[in-house]
Amino acid sequence: MDGVIPLNKEIGQTSSDYVYKLRKILYTKKIGHTGTLDPLVDGVLPICVGQATKLVNTLTGTPKEYDGEITLGKSTTTEDREGETVKEHKLTQPFTKEQLQETFAKMTGDIKQIPPMFSAVKVKGKKLYEYARAGIEVERPVREIHIYDFQMVGEPEFDEATGYQKIKFHVRCSKGTYVRTLAVEFGRILDMPAFMSQLTRVKSAGFKLSETFTLGQIREMMDNNDHSFLKTIDEVLKDVPSHELTDEEWEVRVLHGGFLEKIDSDKTKQLRVTRQGITKALYKYDKVRDMWIPDLMLLNNK
């Protein structure tokens, strides 16, 4: 069994929980996910199976899209609704739509971000959340991320009783982005404490939320010997520029991990090389050698 499952992750489960459960449902050990989703976050979680586990790093590196909600007026230890209150500042009147839209606009492009203490980033061999739970704060590495699009969705909501203002948003961002931290930074620009009160990943590795399957659906489909929840490697990589190999290129070069020459393709992108329409490897262009060199081998893909 080889391919990628566009899984619909539910709130309350970790990404690792799903890998463990799917190993039992699919009767296979070779499974890996393409980027951790926090227990409080639901949505698209592509799961690689069999030969497709080689694609984990490739798919993890693709842009992600989220729908979520920022709450202004309070900050928390975890930067989401699960944490304890750190600071509270009740609004006496809401920010205008114009002020909010200006703030969203300031947060697009290349930005630097410090991962939250409650995250799985490792420092000196330990995950940050392990330090956080022990009450230890450590210096965290600064990450450079890219925000392609960050905008308000619908009308903001203001609750006079609590003094909180809630803003729904959509964001398209690069690998490694902590959306929780974006919510906190959004508040900081407005000089207000803030936290991420809701988040759903709506697109990852090219899969939309509408294309996903729940764990229950997968279990039922397996019982009926229906594997249509599993997308082939060729389907997953369909948008990568491709080149159909000649007999010589396949037998003499690719089968032995050799270089390829004189292929007319976008040299800034990966090249998917195929044999009888089936993806056999991903190549990348090497400027120094002026050749295409192997990036990822998928010779057993059928």
Residue numbers annotated as active site = 38
Q: 């070779």: which residue's tokens?
A: 30
| H or E element, residue 242 | strand 242-244
Beta-carbon count within 10 A of 240 CB: 15
User: How many distinct helices (H) and strands (E) make up the chain?
Assistant: 8, 18
- CB hemisphere CA count around 120 (13 angstroms): 10
Rounded (to 5) percent helix, strand, coil in the chain: 25, 35, 40
| Bridge partners, residue 274, by sequence | 244, 279
Strands (E) across 174-215 are located at: 194-204, 207-208
Cα dist. 290→149, 241, 252, 261, 285 in Å?
35, 18, 19, 8, 7
